[in-house]
Structure 1
Amino acid sequence: MKARAFAPWLTGAIAVQRLLELRVARANERWAREHGAQEYGQNHYPLFFVLHPAWMLALLLEGRAAGGRVRLWALLLFVLAQPLRLWVIRSLGRYWNTRILIVPGGERVTSGPFRYVKHPNYAVVALELATAPLALGAWRTALAFTVLNAALLLLIRIPAEERALAAYRQQS
């Protein structure tokens, strides 16, 4: 299949997936706030709402412009990441969210993929941000958004999560 024809389909599927996940996240956020959750890292949260739609737009545009066929190896890696994403969401249950919300009385999840990786959702997202564009031959998008995502996660998001968890442990 030609990457040009596949780009709108892949981008659309990702957009639908992200919108469905946001519905779950919003429901979980309501639950967490009803249970006294405190939010951390609100200032950087909008950066994710710039990064992900910009990535999808770049994926679509560069994917349509790229010549050649879909790279099946990269598409397969992208598809294989999806059960991992569901495993993370399922393991966290009501605690899965796109925000940093600490629920009083909550326990840090150490089951599922958290037994093997400290931040498995971020590993899945990193894999997706690289492999979806590479499947379409959009290597510039893969490179740029992998670097931007890594900077956002390593310099801002993960340290904010760790500070929030440390503050919670001190209060407990």
Structure 2
Amino acid sequence: MLWYGLLVAAVAGERVAELVVARRNERWSTARGARFYGQGHYPAMVALHTALLAGCLCEVWLAGRPFLSALGGPMLAVFATAQALRWWCISTLGPRWNTQVIVVPGLPLVTAGPYRWMRHPNYVAVAAEGVALPLIHTAWVTATLFTLLNAALLTVRIRCENQALTASATPTAA
């Protein structure tokens, strides 16, 4: 369990690093006239992602979930792949990446990197991570609850993001 706790702590550290990057990128975007969208769902997203990390540890510890190598090994591979995809998205978007929906009007859609093949690859990474991280140590309740709640949240988030990107591509009357 110690190594799993260290893994979850490393993910928490990664999330803090993402927030630092997001804050820097927010300043970059704001300096270029950015518009903010979907502020209402952002606290729920933060709470859900925090609950994922807490749930992983609590379920393993309180329910005595065992590590099963036949499940944990493949889930660790899925988790690592999701992390690679997440950072590919972040590096592809550069200063336009953020944890919030922030759009600089007039900038073209990004069509490089993973965005060549899908519109929202970061959410694929989030969904994969939300299943894989808990299942590395058989925390199936956490994996199930996160997946269901994340699906509902992503329905709102993706709709908001699509509307924001559409609005930013449409020229505004001066």
* TM-score (norm. length: structure 1): 0.93
Name the counterpart of 1:134.
Answer: 135
Residues 98-140 of structure 1 show CA distances to partners (whole Å, capped at 9, x for unaligned) of: 1111112311101100011110000001000000101111011
Residues 65-101 of structure 1 show CA distances to partners (whole Å, capped at 9, x for unaligned) of: 3124451111111012221111101110110001111
* 1:144-159 paired onto structure 2 within 5 Å: 144-154=145-155, 156-159=156-159
Name the counterpart of 1:107.
Answer: 108
From the two aligned structures, give the one with the greater helix fraction. Answer: 1
- In structure 2, what is the Cα distance between the partners aligned to 1:91 and 1:12? 26
Shift of 1:150: 0.9
Shift of 1:6: 2.8
The answer to whether the 8 A contact 1:7-1:63 is kept is no
Shift of 1:143: 0.6
* 1:68-107 paired onto structure 2 within 5 Å: 68-70=67-69, 71-107=72-108
The answer to whether the 8 A contact 2:106-2:169 is kept is no
The runs of 4+ residues in structure 1 deviating greater than 6 Å are: none
- In structure 2, what is the Cα distance between the partners aligned to 1:26 and 1:12? 21
- In structure 1, what is the Cα distance between the partners aligned to 2:20 and 2:97? 12
Match of 2:60 among 37, 57, 63: 63
- In structure 2, what is the Cα distance between the partners aligned to 1:142 and 1:167? 35
* 1:7-22 paired onto structure 2 within 5 Å: 7-22=4-19
* 1:14-53 paired onto structure 2 within 5 Å: 14-53=11-50
- In structure 1, what is the Cα distance between the partners aligned to 2:87 and 2:121? 11
What do you get for the CA RMSD once the two structures are aligned? 1.2
The answer to whether the 8 A contact 2:106-2:171 is kept is no
The answer to whether the 8 A contact 2:56-2:139 is kept is yes
Q: State the percentage of identical aligned residues.
A: 44
AA at the equivalent of 1:67: P
Secondary structure, aligned partner of 1:101: strand
> 5+ unaligned residues in a row in structure 2: which ranges?
none
The answer to whether the 8 A contact 2:108-2:169 is kept is no
Counting matched residue pairs gives 168
The answer to whether the 8 A contact 2:60-2:138 is kept is yes
